Amino acid sequence: MEESTNTEKYHHVLDQGAELLQKEEDSLYLEALGSMGEILFQQEIPENFSSDSRKKLTEIMQQLPSEVHREEIRRAVQLAVLKGMKEATQPHHALTPDAVALFIGYLLDKILTKETEDPLVIFDPAAGAGNLMTAALNQLSKNAHFIGAEPDETLLKLAYVNANLQEHSVDLFHQDSVSSPAVDNLHAVVSDLPAGYYPDDKTAADFKTAADSGHTYVHHLLIEKSLQHVREGGFLIFLIPNGLFQSEQADKLQEMLKQKADIYSVLQLPQTMFKSREAGKSILILRRKKQGIVPPKQALLAELPSFTREAALADMMQRISAWFDEHL
């Protein structure tokens, strides 16, 4: 029988522990997973659990691999989160696909090449369970401090546990990023933007991207808000719906972008990653305008090959890297 990988072993511990806690606490799997992650981080089982549960949890925790890397932990958490999301999916509950999170991490590292400050401060206004956040941190060659915001309490707890288990220094806030204040002078913003309508029309009315009538798209508001807080010349990387610039509210977004930012790149993800053409996504790279920075005459537009075609993807990454070397 083939030996299990560290990721599989770590996932087994998380999953078995979460299933046990789900019964013990009469909670959802994702909530129990957050509790199990906290127990692993603290290496301490709460006193209020039954003696039988404490004994079983101790046995489960003894199966943890002795040496484990950050990426192995991230993937183990990701597998468990995916299982929990299938059980009780809310519309905004979705995990950034693994290959995409790693690719965005690679792009973030590339565009921060010339930054000399230490640490770099990076913000995700919709951090979710922290998969993109920690994947990006694991890819960075520079020292960085991540700030994440998330309105969903269960997902925020998972992001907290995810960062702790991987020993990343992050600040996480339980808040709606559209209406809440954010840190200024950020070096970069990176986010898998939630798509949909923002329910609070009064708050949205203060934005340039606000719809003339009815609800405004939340992803438009988050792009505008992020541009307010990234420093001049700072980059923003967003995972966006393919139809971002074709929607009925696109005019307002384009007008705002024309004033505040330059589009450096739009990279369309392979259609095979998505269940339908409508669900397709792209990676949008923006740079906040700054006096003295000359934007590229033409943005880098490309359709990415399937991530399973390693040679084609490596060739594409080389071309992207060369383009940014020329235009940073």
Domain match, 172 and 264 both: yes
Mean of pLDDT values over 12-34: 95
Q: Does residue 144 belong to any structural domain of this protein?
A: yes
* pLDDT at residue 189 in the model: 98
- Structural domain of residue 43, as residue ranges? 6-82
d(CA 224, CA 206): 11
Of residues 290, 171, 269, 287, the one with CA closest to residue 226 = 287
How long, in residues, is the chain? 328
- Among 93, 102, 94, 57, which residue's Cα sits nearest to residue 75? 102
Note whether 302 and 233 are same-domain residues: yes
Residues 62, 145 within the same domain: no
Q: Domain containing 67 — which CATH number? A: 1.10.150.470
Whether residue 89 lies inside any domain: the answer is: no
Flag whether 90 is in a domain: no
Give the C-alpha separation, 290 to 124, whole Å.
22
State how many domains the chain has.
Answer: 2
Residues 38 and 134 grouped into a single domain: no
Q: Is residue 92 domain-resident?
A: no
Helix locations, 130-169, DSSP H: 131-139, 153-165
Q: Among residues 51, 82, 113, which one ends one of the domains?
A: 82
pLDDT for the residue 249: 96
Residues 35, 151, single domain; the answer is no
Q: Does 215 share its domain with 143?
A: yes
**pLDDT tens figures, 285-321:** 999 999 999 999 999 999 999 999 999 999 999 999 9
Q: Mean pLDDT over residues 72-89, rounded?
A: 90
Residues sharing a CB contact under 8 Å with residue 148, sequence separation 6 or more, in sequence order:
123, 124, 127, 130, 133, 159, 170, 171, 172, 173
Q: Is 41 exposed, middle or buried (0-12, 13-18, 19+ CB in 10 A)?
A: middle
| pTM higher than the cut 0.75 | yes
Neighbouring C-alpha atoms within 13 Å toward the C-beta of 279: 7
